[in-house]
Structure 1
Amino acid sequence: MTPPLPGTPPGPSPRGSAGLPSARARLSAVRSRLALPLVRRATGLLEGQHRSVYRGHGQDFDDLRVYQPGDDVGDIDWRASARTGSPVVKRYVATSNVAVVLVVDTGRHMSATAARGEDKAEVAQYVVAIVAQVAQQRGDRVALVAGDAGRVEHLPARAGRTHLEVVLRRLERTFDPAAPPGDLPRLLDRAMRQTVQRSLVVVVTDEARPDEAARAALARLRTRHAVLVVQVADADAFAWDVAAGPPGRLVGSSSARERGRPTRVRRGTVVDAESGAVLPGLLRGRRRAVEAAHRARVARHDRTTALLASLGIPSVVVEGTHDALDEFVALLERQRRGGR
């Protein structure tokens, strides 16, 4: 059963609902959270990601200098080191205006509730704003591929703050509780066709995806591009009005094994976001039901993690807007260290 949405059964709703932040406000909120040291840290990590993507394919040799602790051993010029008697590394001019491709799953399941009680669509848009803002900070170009089984929205890669606002507004209009089911393989194939030059592709979906149906598309995408996956954790449908811990707590671990613990769920009917099936109220808060749901969730997470690991694709799970920035930076750090 797809993680449910507390409230009424899904139906048509106005896009860009009142009370949700606008594209400009969302970007402003992200900028305000990107304190200067963290900006340098995040943009530096993204630059390192570009270096690993484009090694030998988009950087111009600059000069040689003496090796220093922390330098990439792959940059050592062994012939020059033999001549000088000490290790020296090659320095390159960093590639600018690199394309960052945002592949965003906006299927019906993304209208459900995230682990911290926010709409999954809102969390996904916040993640997109983070990635776009970090890319804009570096002067990189940002492209968008978003949609579901019935439609695909595509915006070509461009730079500039105005373009970022266009990206977020287009994405906001794409989310809809009445949307068709998701089709992540279709989005991945579209990104592969539309993106010729080697790029950084950031896939934003929920914790049930990517699944086996997306394996072939991910494998093809991985041969040409660097790929990162950000998954939005689902709310625990079997909890009964229980808090998941201090709102200000930052996770940073991304194991997702505890994501199924009780979280804050509004009193009322719990409806499956995809099928419209209603979860019987008598099951909520029942120990056996909660434990069974948690075991199934952990097993699903392990399958998804194993799938991505087999393809060499780093991933992270976010609970809400409160931990999205920290988790994304942690994801870049692990990728830079070569961890998965």
Structure 2
Amino acid sequence: MLIADTGRGMAAESRDGETKKDIAVMAFGVVGYLAHRHGDVVGLVCGDRNGTRSIPAKAGEPHLERLLREVDSSTSLDSGPSRIEDQLEYVARNVKGRFLLFVVSDEHAAGPDTEQLLRRLRAQHEVLWLTIRDADLAGEGNTGQDAFSVADSSMLPAHLAASPAVAAAYAKATGERDAARQAMLRRAGITQGHMTGSSAVMTELFALLERHRRAG
């Protein structure tokens, strides 16, 4: 079961400058193709804060292509705010049986409610989590252009992003958020990985699957 964040957060740029949804579609395509070759069925749960929808699990490459088109067409700057908890809650309430859940989201912040929900899902399903890294807007990642948040349209002027003090605060906040998310996923028993661009999809996904296999 592919679990996709199709909120506007995934329409933003990734660390490597690509749109995060393009990286997500590629990752879903690889995992879905591997499942297809293994004889498994593949379904989709996707959405944003405004709603969640699902496409039942079926076999076949045409079905997988339909799922990928749904993720691609549903993710734009006009989408609702990202809220992957809503899609996870939908799975917890509605998906029966045991699935391998492949979750793709951006740099989600950890929280006790999210961790409780993940533990609930992990009791029934196997879970793989892939984080698409956000663009690095300060310090070395600064491109010399003004940037804005797709979540709330707040602006980060280029001259502030180039400031060493701003860059240090930005790096500190990012590091703390990453550490909290990774710790949350470890405590929930979820195999996790991250990537910055499409060039790393194959390498990172196979590493993720190997870590999951070793974890038992």
Percent of pairs with identical residues: 31
78, 89, 113: which is aligned to 1:178?
78
Q: Which residue of 2 aligns with 1:308?
A: 185
1:267 shift after superposition: 4.7
Q: 1:119 aligns with which of 9, 16, 19?
A: 19
Checking the alignment, whether the CA contact within 8 Å between 1:184 and 1:210 is kept in structure 2 is no
Match of 2:123 among 223, 229, 233: 223
Shift in CA distance, 331/185, structure 1 to aligned 2, threshold 3 Å: same
TM-score by structure 2 length?
A: 0.94
1:162 equivalent in alignment to 2:39: no
Matched, 1:322 2:199: yes
The answer to whether the Cα contact below 8 Å between 2:110 and 2:180 also exists between their aligned partners in 1 is no
Is the 2:109–2:180 Cα contact (8 Å) retained in structure 1?
Answer: no
Partner SS state of residue 224, structure 1 = coil
Distance of 2:53 and 2:127 partners within structure 1: 20
Deviation readout 1:209-254 (Å, 9 max, x if unpaired)? 4544422221111110001100000111114xxxxxxxxxxxxxxx
Q: Distance in 2 between matches of 1:310 and 1:234?
A: 23
Choose 1 or 2 for highest CA Rg: 1
- Whether 2:33 is the aligned partner of 1:110: answer no
- Out of 143, 159, 165, which is 2:43 matched to? 143
Structure 2 segments unaligned to the other structure (5+ residues): none
* Alignment map for 1:121-270 (pairs within 5 Å): 121-209=21-109, 211-239=111-139, 262-263=140-141, 266-270=143-147
Rounded to whole Å, the distance in 1 between the matches of 2:169 and 2:208 is 30
CA contact (8 A) 1:200 1:227 kept: yes
Q: Kindly tell me: are residues 130 and 212 of structure 1, through their superposed partners in 2, closer, same or farther at Cα, counting changes over 3 Å? A: farther
Q: SS at 2:62's partner residue?
A: helix
Residue 279 of structure 1 aligns with which residue? Answer: 156
- 1:290 CA displacement: 1.3
Measured after TM superposition, the shift of residue 269 of structure 1 is 2.6
Write the distance in 1 (CA, Å) between the matches of 2:175 and 2:52.
31
Any idea what the Cα deviations from partners look like across 1:74-114, whole Å, max 9, x if unmatched? xxxxxxxxxxxxxxxxxxxxxxxxxxx01111112112110
Letter in structure 2 aligned against 1:198:
R
Distance in 2, matches of 1:210 and 1:121, equals 21
In structure 2, the partner of 1:288 is 165
RMSD: 1.6
Which of 190, 212, 216 lines up with 1:335 in the alignment? 212
Which whole-Å deviations, capped at 9, do the CAs of 1:120-174 have from their partners, x for residues lacking one? 1111111111111111111210010000011212100000001011111111121
Residue 46 of structure 1 aligns with which residue? none
- Matches of 1:105 and 1:269 in 2, distance apart? 26
**Alpha carbons of 1:183 and 1:208: their partners in 2 closer, same or farther (altered >3 Å)?**
closer
Residues 276, 266 of structure 1: alpha-carbon distance in 2 compared, 3 angstrom cutoff: same
Relative to structure 1, the CA distance from residue 229 to residue 143 in structure 2 (aligned partners, 3 Å threshold; closer, same or farther) is same
Q: Secondary structure at the match of 2:123?
A: helix
Q: Distance in 1 between matches of 2:201 and 2:113?
A: 26
Gaps of 5+ in 1: 1-100, 240-261
Q: CA–CA distance in 1 between the matches of 2:143 and 2:167?
A: 17
TM-score (ref. length: structure 1): 0.61
Contact 2:110 2:177 in 1 (8 A): no
Higher helix share: 2
When residues 322 and 207 of structure 1 are mapped into structure 2, their CA distance, relative to the original with a 3 A threshold, is same
| Partner Cα distance (1:189, 1:115) in 2 | 28
Seen in structure 2, the aligned counterparts of structure 1 residues 321 and 330 have a Cα distance that, compared at 3 Å, is same
Instruction: Output the CA distance in 1 between the equivalents of 2:65 and 2:109.
Output: 27
